[in-house]
Structure 1
Amino acid sequence: KNTEEIILQIKKTNHIIDNNPDGFLIVDGNWRITRVNKMFEDAVGQCCDKIIGQNFLHFFINNTGPHSALATLEQAMQNQKPVHFEWYYPPRQIWFEVNGYTSGDDLVLTFRNISEQKATADQIRQSERRLHAVIQSTPDTFFLIGPDRRLISFNERACRGVKRLFNRDLQAGDDIRTYIFDDNDARVCAQAFEKALQGERVQIEREVRTNGQTNWYWMTYFPVHDIDGQLLGVALNSTNINNLKFFEAEILRVNARFQLVAQATQDAIYDWNIELDEIRWYGAFYNMFGYPEQAVGASLEWWANRLHPDDQTRVLASLYNALDHQHAHWLMEYRFRCGDNSYKLVYERGYILYTGTGAPTRMIGALQDMQQLKEHESKITAQNEQLRAIAFAQSHEVRRPLANILGLLKCLNQAELSPENQEIVAMLEQTSTELDTVIRKIIDKTAET
């Protein structure tokens, strides 16, 4: 009966060993392998017959080379104490977590495949190194802040910024609330931090005045989670936007000057963003054509639909030809429909900008009201006609008595006159002839015009 119980116990033990998810191996006091399970056979890629009876130390050395774990195993056998270490098996490229337990003169070893964990750990370390490199190389100031508002990590730019603004050395564990400038700054930053803790991405513009200087920062707070989704803290990225503020102010000044110029001129100025097909009208456009501002469209189609039907095809063909052939200037005269459905004759001058690849990107120009100019030309033409008629009539009226004078002088030349009178008559005849020549030139010039 005792024998049967022992046999049953051995079977149970063997069943447990063979079905253990970890590799299992027993060596005796002479380092001979006496027992392995199927999991160990599969792990090392050798069958039981080739493993049993081998010297474990030789097996270990032949497959892994010198290893500090050998000394650990020998010490475990001598001191009868449990051991724990990691072992890499090159033939199968497998990492094992090895646990050793002494049992009398025997040493029981379990082998757990941890290759995936090692690979994951390597990936995490590589990711951490890449993240560290990115954080350090970014031109922005970066902080990682724990939920307790204490610094976890930061980049070198953050260290320099804190040193410059607060004359302090930044340390992990510092309370981020230490680095504030006033109560309003503390309130705004605290609100942004709390929202980030709740999962929001918060962006604020912050003005910092120190040592008589004003600096502008664009600050972004966003939550950071681990791979399990647990909140690690809040990342704070701060970008200096002094240059952006300068350019914004400069743009406002340029726009103000542009608006003044647009108001001063009598032409209708426009700015057409060709890529977005957006047209902005300035200056006298609304008064020139009688459109309320809300009735004016911002697309090329709105403008094209108000061209005179007899001009539309010609004008659009000319415009597209200029864009296709990268012309810098476009000039065109056409009729444009006003708000009261009448048409005005306009003269348009446009300057076209292109990208580096030759694509049209922007067109700036002006529309000049030619209606008044044409009316002025008509008035001038009519006045010229009147002057021509007057000049022609007056020249004939003046020449008629002059012709009589010339006739009388010719008669006097035929009479007997004293030398003195002959000289006077000759002078009168010469003067009259010169006057007649001038009058004839006036008549000829009037006929030409």
Structure 2
Amino acid sequence: MIEKEKNVEIFRALPVPTALINIDDPAFTIVAVNDALKKVSSRQEKDIVGKSFTDAYQNSCENHKFSGFQMVLSSFRKALETEQIQKIPKIRYDITTDKGKPQLTYWEFTVAPYYDNEDRLAYLLCTASDITDNVLIEEQKDIILNHTEGSFILTNENLEILLCNDQFAQNYKEIFGIEVQKGVSILEYALPERRKEIEVIYDRVLSGETIELELPVPIKAGGYRYFNVIYKPAKRSNDDIFGAFITLREITSEKKAKQSLEEKEARFRSLVEQGGDVVVILDSDGDPKYVTPSVEPVFGYKPEEAQDINVTDVTHPEDFHLVKKAILKAMENPGKSVKVPPVRMRQRDGSWRWYETSITDLRHEPSVAGIVDNIRDVHEQVLTEKLLERSKEKYESLVRSVEGVIWEAKADTFEFTYISPQSEHIFGYTAEEWINNSNFWEKNIHPEDREKSVAYCQSQTKKGFNHDFEYRFKKASGEYIWVRDVVTVITKNDEPDLLRGLMIDINEQKRLINLMEETYQIAKIGNWELDLQQEKLFWSPFIKELHDVPADYEPDLETAIEFYEEGESRNEIQKAVDNAIERNESFDVELTIITAKGNKKWIRAVGTPEQANGECIRVFGSTQDITDRKIAEDKLKKAEEKYRNVVEHSTNMFYTHGVDGVLNYVSPQSDYFLGYEPEEAKKRWTEFITDHPINQKGVAITQKAIDTGETQPPYELQLRTGKDEIIWVEVNEAPLVVNGETVSIVGSLTDITERKKYEEKLQNSLERYHYVSKATRDAIYDWDAEKDTIHWGDGLYSLFGYKPSDIDASVNRWIDLIHPDDVEEVREALKFTLKDVSMNHWAYEYRLKKANGDYAHVRENGYIKRNEDGWATRMIGAIQDITEEVFSKEEIQASLSEKETLLSEIHHRVKNNLAVVSGMIQLQAYDTENADLQAKLFDSVVRIKTMATVHELLYQSQSFSKLEFSDTLQKLVENISDTLRSNTYIETTIDCEPIKLNINQAIPASLIVNEVITNIYKHAFKGREKGNVAFKLDKKNEHINIQIKDDGVGFPEGFDLDVNTSLGFHLIRVLSEQINATYKYENGTSGTLFELSFRKQSNKGIGNRHLK
């Protein structure tokens, strides 16, 4: 009760929405919910508990955007069916905030079986985890990756593309017309003339160097597209370089703008040097007094035209205030030049261009006597600057959209100078709190992670290495979350100056990793890592459990390899590890291990090497227990071999064909049936039939099986083989139906050519019917089924006393004479035979009324003749009186039953007497203190029990002369195990064909097997915790073969079976001679093998004349 209340408390306190579902209700009634679920659904417990899931939540689909209702119901059903955890990775169910507004929310939904204290499935435990942040992060990552103007590529150490964004793929296809494929070397996409240069660049990058360059790319239409390319090392969390990260930003427009600007500036300088700037002298009202000739190439006005245009008329209305302000300022400061920000001025053609002007009041200079306005065309420069400004705005917008905190700090003090707005959303801190509080970052790192994280960041910063690391960081709420900090070191004068980084919330990722580890445990998978630098090997808890070692066991490479079974498995894993270290080759092998407790298990070992600077630094991977799978595969293989033997050694031909009639499998018998080898015979089956009318009925029957999906009755076909031979076959087939649709036909052919010949001969002999009817004592008849008339032979009178004139010619009169207890069975059997077009023979035994009123036991045999449509038109047969035969058989059966009862009682009493003797000897054994005598007495007990087992099986069987020898082996093992109790756990494997032996061979063979098994139990496994014994019994060419194999210690060195004088070996030799058997022992390092072989026969009696 306390445990139950504790479970309820735990359930209520779960932080994620959780519900218990009743598994006995098809509607999935909700039994209980926790507080988190009530809060999420904004409902009271009484509104949820006791209702079906459909009633409780189907109406919520619209209000809460519940996108996975049917998926949840489906997961309930699948969890009940498989009793395994079911997961829905993402469904949408919007929650209502405290202010009553809907909030977009995504959930991961888990359905787990919940078992009671008796390990019975009681409920379904349903939990929902909020994954909204992760979903939005992934969406934002996708936006960053595939919606930015830049291109990204990630390669491995072999320069193979691991990842590229859409922009890169699109640019490359536009330029070269080729699709970019992952897994292909980046060199394949490089211009041929640049490949060597790129190889040099990658060598430098893989050594840790960052390279930036400008890349011109020729295009088919002529000219170039320009890209700014940055090559950076791609590093793991431990700072190991595993590839290169390349960013490409197209700068074609900027390049062209810059080139154009440079050209304009060059022209401007030339104009200035040659007096080409537009210089205008204005009076106090802004009217030109003088304009340089350069006004015509710059503005399009002729000088005389320009002198008639006031400055207000040529300046854009939105910009004139800048010019006016500058003029007033210049007038306040005579002689000083006042620059005017770029303004738009009208061209002669009406267009507007940007100009930069400087105004100087020189009215006090007699030579000038006016305000000098020096005008320079900066149109392209302004446009470029505005383009750059827009790019900067896009970049800042992109920064704001990243689901992470972007920051900048001083490299020497870790004082933050910038923090992005996301900090307030993710951590709850404002930017001011980060910037104004010293050591703010360090103080909020989890105490257990603080020293290690700060020290690592400082060491990598001093080296100038970009790096990333993970730690727990405290939010403003006090909760700690896991973050990954990706840091870039900015240097100045070759010294670290600034740090720029991105903090990413990986709390959910950590949870998923823990869940993955639990999943590995369920799937019997463990992880391992071989650290070559530290020379250490790590095993996860499951791998230690798999090897039967304690939890504190510390493995090393040498001892780990020694766990693999000596021979092929050990050699294979040693080779795989060596190749991983020396050749950087991954491996995936299935091998056997011998655990610390001596258990043999099958495992799958997967390993991947990791290199740094061309040298393998570690090998990591997983190990899975696949013992159960291997056992199942072995059983399946044996079953397949047995089935193959049946098919390939049958006298019938087996086949399958599709609904189109094309054979897709034929057994090896096709050479006889079709005249072709199996591969040659794979054609439409109707190509093998003749034009005989009966074949069209067969085609129709097969088509009916395809159309209905139902098995049809057998039918006959006439075939013409590839050897131009005509054969008759009987076809038995059935449709294979998948999802309600017939996909193929499976069937077999039986050769009935000889039967058809016999039927033909019988048909020819019908002409001699009348002669035969007169010469035989049987009552021969000829029934015309179409006219329903019967002609009886003379035997009807001699056997049953009827004259032909006494019986109506109708078949109904014959039926009236059948015994009432037999008439319905005879009628139905005859009706079935006549209706089945494949049957041409009728045979039945029944009682028939004679003329004197007595009933005679009769046996009837008839031949049925059919027309072209298969209808029975005639049946010719004979009725034989077997009354004396039936009575004699009944008397013999009664006598035999009495003898069997007597013989059963004899075997039973013999078995009981032997049990009494066995029990007395066993008591004597327990009573003696002489160990040698006690061992011999127990040997005698086992031998007596063996003989008693044979008698027990005989009186329990249906036969008293033969007995199922495989059952005897089972009983022998049980008797010996019960009698010779051992501290060793001995597992027995019995592979026996069903073979019946007569008692004359069964008893000697049983005693021989008894001696062998007794010897194994007594001597083979001394000092062992576990042993294995395998039995095999089979028959080949009437020879019985028995094999008994153990994995024990074997015979002592120098042991000679031929000179051994023990009673056990003496019995084996004597009994083997008695049944003419040969036997041998093989002594090996992994146990012994005993083989016994003798010919199956019927010996008369069993004696002991060889015993001395």
TM-score (norm 2): 0.24
Does 2:612 match 1:106?
A: no
User: What's the offset of the Cα at 1:241?
Assistant: 1.0
Aligned to 1:443: none
Query: Where do residues 221-260 of structure 1 align in structure 2 (5 Å cutoff)?
Result: 221-223=733-735, 233-252=744-763, 257-260=768-771
Does 2:746 match 1:201?
A: no
- Of 124, 135, 146, the match for 2:647: 135
**Structure 1 SS opposite 2:849:** helix
- Of 82, 85, 88, the match for 2:589: 85
Q: Would you say the 8 A contact 2:654–2:748 is kept in 1? A: yes
Q: Which has the higher helix share?
A: 1
Cα distance between partner residues in 2 of 1:220 and 1:243:
18
Q: Would you say the 8 A contact 1:268–1:288 is kept in 2? A: no
Cα distance between partner residues in 2 of 1:95 and 1:236:
39
User: What's the offset of the Cα at 1:281?
Assistant: 6.9
Q: Would you say the 8 A contact 1:31–1:56 is kept in 2? A: no
Q: What's the CA shift string for 1:361-384, capped at 9, x where partnerless?
A: 9xxxxxxxxxxxxxxxxxxxxxxx
Does 2:683 match 1:175?
A: yes
Aligned to 1:126: 638
Aligned to 2:730: 218
Aligned to 1:410: none
**Structure 2 SS opposite 1:84:** strand
Cα distance between partner residues in 2 of 1:196 and 1:44:
55
Going from structure 1 to structure 2, the CA distance change for 1:243 and 1:45 (only over 3 Å counts) comes to: same
Going from structure 1 to structure 2, the CA distance change for 1:260 and 1:212 (only over 3 Å counts) comes to: farther
**Structure 2 SS opposite 1:49:** coil
Going from structure 1 to structure 2, the CA distance change for 1:307 and 1:77 (only over 3 Å counts) comes to: same
Going from structure 1 to structure 2, the CA distance change for 1:233 and 1:353 (only over 3 Å counts) comes to: farther
Cα distance between partner residues in 2 of 1:103 and 1:14:
23
Going from structure 1 to structure 2, the CA distance change for 1:281 and 1:76 (only over 3 Å counts) comes to: same
Cα distance between partner residues in 2 of 1:230 and 1:95:
40
More relative contact order, 1 or 2 (CA 8 Å, 6+ apart): 1
Query: Where do residues 346-357 of structure 1 align in structure 2 (5 Å cutoff)?
Result: 354=885
- Of 564, 576, 598, the match for 1:72: 576
Cα distance between partner residues in 2 of 1:220 and 1:16:
52
Aligned to 1:303: 849
Going from structure 1 to structure 2, the CA distance change for 1:179 and 1:221 (only over 3 Å counts) comes to: same
- Of 522, 529, 541, the match for 1:26: 529
User: What's the offset of the Cα at 1:222?
Assistant: 2.6
Going from structure 1 to structure 2, the CA distance change for 1:31 and 1:69 (only over 3 Å counts) comes to: farther
Cα distance between partner residues in 1 of 2:891 and 2:627:
58
Q: Would you say the 8 A contact 2:668–2:677 is kept in 1? A: no
User: What's the offset of the Cα at 1:80?
Assistant: 4.3
User: What's the offset of the Cα at 1:124?
Assistant: 2.9
Cα distance between partner residues in 1 of 2:644 and 2:517:
46
**Structure 2 SS opposite 1:20:** helix
Aligned to 1:61: 562
Q: Would you say the 8 A contact 2:670–2:681 is kept in 1? A: no
Q: Percent of counterpart pairs with the same letter?
A: 13
Q: What's the CA shift string for 1:221-255, capped at 9, x where partnerless?
A: 334589x9997743342222122123334445566
Aligned to 1:290: 806
Aligned to 1:144: 656
Aligned to 1:402: none
Q: What's the CA shift string for 1:302-353, capped at 9, x where partnerless?
A: 626x637xxx7xxx8xx99xx9xxxxxxxxxxxxxxxxxxxxxxxxx96778
Unaligned runs of 5+ in 1: 272-279, 324-348, 362-449
Equivalent residue letter for 1:88: T
User: What's the offset of the Cα at 1:290?
Assistant: 2.9
Cα distance between partner residues in 2 of 1:307 and 1:207:
50
User: What's the offset of the Cα at 1:160?
Assistant: 3.9
Aligned to 1:395: none
Cα distance between partner residues in 2 of 1:132 and 1:60:
39
Going from structure 1 to structure 2, the CA distance change for 1:170 and 1:205 (only over 3 Å counts) comes to: same
Instruction: Report how many aligned residue pairs link the two structures.
Output: 307
User: What's the offset of the Cα at 1:205?
Assistant: 0.9
Cα distance between partner residues in 2 of 1:178 and 1:143:
14
Going from structure 1 to structure 2, the CA distance change for 1:114 and 1:236 (only over 3 Å counts) comes to: same
Unaligned runs of 5+ in 2: 1-443, 451-469, 473-480, 483-506, 612-616, 781-790, 820-845, 859-879, 893-1108
Going from structure 1 to structure 2, the CA distance change for 1:32 and 1:149 (only over 3 Å counts) comes to: farther
Cα distance between partner residues in 2 of 1:231 and 1:47:
56
Superposition RMSD in Å:
4.6
Cα distance between partner residues in 2 of 1:117 and 1:162:
40
Going from structure 1 to structure 2, the CA distance change for 1:79 and 1:148 (only over 3 Å counts) comes to: farther
Q: Would you say the 8 A contact 2:698–2:717 is kept in 1? A: no
**Structure 2 SS opposite 1:111:** strand
User: What's the offset of the Cα at 1:358?
Assistant: 5.0
TM-score (norm 1): 0.54
Cα distance between partner residues in 2 of 1:351 and 1:17:
79
Cα distance between partner residues in 1 of 2:659 and 2:534:
54
Cα distance between partner residues in 1 of 2:606 and 2:741:
32
Cα distance between partner residues in 2 of 1:120 and 1:189:
41
Cα distance between partner residues in 1 of 2:685 and 2:849:
57
Aligned to 2:665: 153
Cα distance between partner residues in 2 of 1:120 and 1:147:
33
Q: What's the CA shift string for 1:381-434, capped at 9, x where partnerless?
A: xxxxxxxxxxxxxxxxxxxxxxxxxxxxxxxxxxxxxxxxxxxxxxxxxxxxxx
Query: Where do residues 246-285 of structure 1 align in structure 2 (5 Å cutoff)?
Result: 246-252=757-763, 257-262=768-773, 270=779, 282-283=793-794, 285=797
Aligned to 1:415: none
Aligned to 2:499: none
Equivalent residue letter for 2:817: G
User: What's the offset of the Cα at 1:135?
Assistant: 1.8
**Structure 2 SS opposite 1:87:** strand
Q: Would you say the 8 A contact 2:563–2:594 is kept in 1? A: no
Q: Would you say the 8 A contact 1:152–1:172 is kept in 2? A: no
Aligned to 1:339: none
**Structure 1 SS opposite 2:621:** strand
Equivalent residue letter for 2:684: I
Aligned to 1:40: 543
Going from structure 1 to structure 2, the CA distance change for 1:360 and 1:193 (only over 3 Å counts) comes to: farther
Aligned to 1:49: 552
Going from structure 1 to structure 2, the CA distance change for 1:173 and 1:78 (only over 3 Å counts) comes to: farther
Cα distance between partner residues in 2 of 1:62 and 1:301:
77
Moved over 6 A (4+): 183-186, 210-213, 228-232, 349-353
Aligned to 2:357: none
Cα distance between partner residues in 2 of 1:229 and 1:39:
45
Q: Would you say the 8 A contact 1:208–1:216 is kept in 2? A: yes
User: What's the offset of the Cα at 1:94?
Assistant: 2.3
Cα distance between partner residues in 1 of 2:743 and 2:594:
37
